[in-house]
């Protein structure tokens, strides 16, 4: 599913209108959603509370810092722009900033006048500028630099799967179909569990898989070595096992069914692609298309259930002899 990240754009306003427009344009062109001070009115405490909620709901925070410090909030003696930045830092929001360089600021003063530089709080602006430059930031001379920074930064953040973003409703899977499929799988699982339990108690009388056949298949599966990767290992280190051990030690998951759904864990996908195809050769699992969804599923066959039951039966017998 294609996600659209929401980017909160923070800056002083009247002195940086073209720069903000450049950032918003680049965000939209990249397929994401800009948000910022254009949504708000008077600079008061209730506005700050609203801005905090917007920052909370945004995925990424962007600051454009020019030559002005901005309106100051009375209780903290900090500008609203710095309060927004500090709040984003406090909430550990992914962020990036662009800071005007000295030559570009001098050029703006020459063309637009002295009102675009800070006259009341120059020390506070210098302190804020130092704080920003100590984190992720870059300098800009014009709107092109801002667009380039937005493009490069959002390319990195877009690949971060921990950022939730927004997804179009048209790309969300049919929940009703998924709920129906889950219900069906649960019923199939209950049925298979009953079959497995029944096989364990009546295998001999009903002429299931013989001990000789079981041992033949077991020996073959034990020769099939498999590397268990570190990302699914409980010890977080890779190790060598064999198909038989993986099958019997994970029989509850196998009986439930293993799909290749994109939402599956790395462990389930490993079983689907690496373990199940080998078990299918010996008739222990089969692969089927699941109705109404895109993925397929491996399920344990009757022979596979009898194989697992024979394994547990022999284990119980060996335990009784000890």
Enumerate residues 6+ apart whose C-beta is below 8 A from 128: 65, 69, 79, 81, 82, 85
Are 93 and 196 members of one domain?
A: no
Same structural domain for residues 12 and 78? yes
Q: Which residues pair with 296 in a beta bridge?
A: 289
119 and 216 share a domain? no
Look at the chain and report how many structural domains it folds into.
2
Last residue of one domain, picked from the residues 117, 148, 169 = 169
Q: What is the pLDDT of residues 47-77, one digit of tens each?
A: 788 889 999 999 999 999 999 999 998 889 9
Quick one: the chain helix, strand, coil %, rounded to 5? 55, 15, 25
CATH number at residue 163: 3.40.50.10140
Give mean pLDDT, residues 124-129.
Answer: 96
Q: Which of 169, 193, 217 is the last residue of a domain?
A: 169
CA-to-CA distance for 271 and 255, rounded, in angstroms? 12
Give the pLDDT of residue 188. 84
The pLDDT value given to residue 42? 44
**pLDDT for residue 69:** 94
Mean pLDDT calculated for residue range 185-203: 73
Q: Are residues 142 and 54 in the same domain?
A: yes
21 and 163, same domain (yes or no): yes
For residues 218 and 312, membership in a common domain is answered with: yes
Same domain, yes or no, for 104 and 159? yes
- Residue 199 clears pLDDT 70, i.e. is over it: no
Q: How far, rounded to the nearest angstrom, does the alpha carbon of residue 301 sit from its chain's CA centroid?
A: 34
The tokens for 292 are 């109404």
Tell me which of 46 and 268 has the higher pLDDT.
Answer: 268
What are 17's two structure tokens? 């209108």
20 lies in which domain range? 3-169
Mean of the per-residue pLDDT values of the chain: 86
Among the candidates 140, 169, 198, a domain finishes at 169
Residue 202's pLDDT is 55
Among the residue ranges 128-132, 267-271, 317-321, the one predicted with the least confidence is: 317-321
Count of beta carbons in the 10 Å neighbourhood of residue 65: 27
Which of these, 277, 282, 286, 234, lies nearest to 255 by C-alpha position? 286
At residue 186, the pLDDT reads 86
Let me know whether 179 and 163 are in one domain. Answer: no
Q: What is the pLDDT of residue 102?
A: 93
Do residues 164 and 191 share a domain?
no
Taking the mean position of all CA atoms in its chain, how far away is CA 212?
Answer: 48
- 171 versus 135: the higher-pLDDT residue is 135
Please state, in angstroms and as integers, the Cα–Cα distance from residue 144 to each residue in 26, 116, 148, 229, 291, following that order: 10, 20, 6, 45, 51
Residue 1 has pLDDT above 70, yes or no: no
**Which region among 17-31, 205-219, 246-260 has the lowest average model confidence (pLDDT)?**
205-219
- Do 164 and 18 fall into the same domain? yes
Whats the size of the chain, residue-wise? Answer: 322
pLDDT digits (tens, 9 = 90+) for 237-287: 999 999 999 999 988 888 888 898 888 889 899 999 999 999 999 999 999
């Amino acid at each position: 599913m294609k996600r659209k990240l929401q980017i909160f754009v923070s800056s002083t306003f009247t002195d940086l209108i073209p720069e903000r427009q450049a950032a918003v344009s680049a965000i939209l062109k990249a397929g994401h959603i800009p948000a910022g001070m254009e949504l708000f009115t008077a600079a008061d405490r209730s506005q700050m509370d609203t801005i905090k909620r917007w920052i909370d709901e945004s995925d990424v925070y962007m600051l454009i810092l020019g030559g002005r410090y901005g309106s100051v909030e009375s209780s903290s003696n900090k500008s609203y722009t710095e309060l927004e930045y500090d709040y984003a830092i406090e909430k550990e929001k992914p962020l990036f900033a662009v800071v005007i360089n000295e030559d570009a600021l001098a050029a703006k003063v020459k063309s637009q006048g002295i009102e675009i530089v800070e006259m009341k709080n120059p020390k506070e602006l210098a302190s804020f500028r130092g704080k920003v430059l100590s984190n992720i930031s870059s300098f800009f001379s014009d709107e092109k630099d801002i667009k380039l920074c937005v493009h490069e930064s959002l390319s990195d953040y877009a690949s971060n799967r921990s950022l939730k973003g927004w997804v179009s409703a048209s790309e969300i899977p049919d929940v009703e179909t998924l709920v129906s499929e889950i219900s069906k799988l649960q019923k199939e699982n209950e049925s298979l569990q009953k079959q497995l339990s029944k096989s364990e108690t009546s295998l001999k009388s009903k002429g299931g898989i013989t001990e000789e056949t079981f041992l033949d298949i077991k020996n073959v599966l034990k020769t099939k070595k498999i590397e268990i990767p570190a990302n699914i290992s409980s010890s977080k280190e890779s190790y060598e096992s064999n198909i038989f051990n993986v099958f019997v030690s994970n029989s509850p998951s196998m009986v439930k069914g293993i799909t290749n759904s994109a939402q599956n864990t790395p462990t389930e996908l490993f079983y689907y692609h690496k373990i199940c195809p080998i078990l299918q050769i010996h008739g222990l699992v089969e692969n089927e298309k699941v109705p109404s969804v895109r993925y397929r599923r491996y399920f344990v066959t009757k022979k596979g259930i009898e194989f697992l039951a024979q394994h547990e039966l022999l284990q119980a017998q060996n335990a009784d002899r000890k």
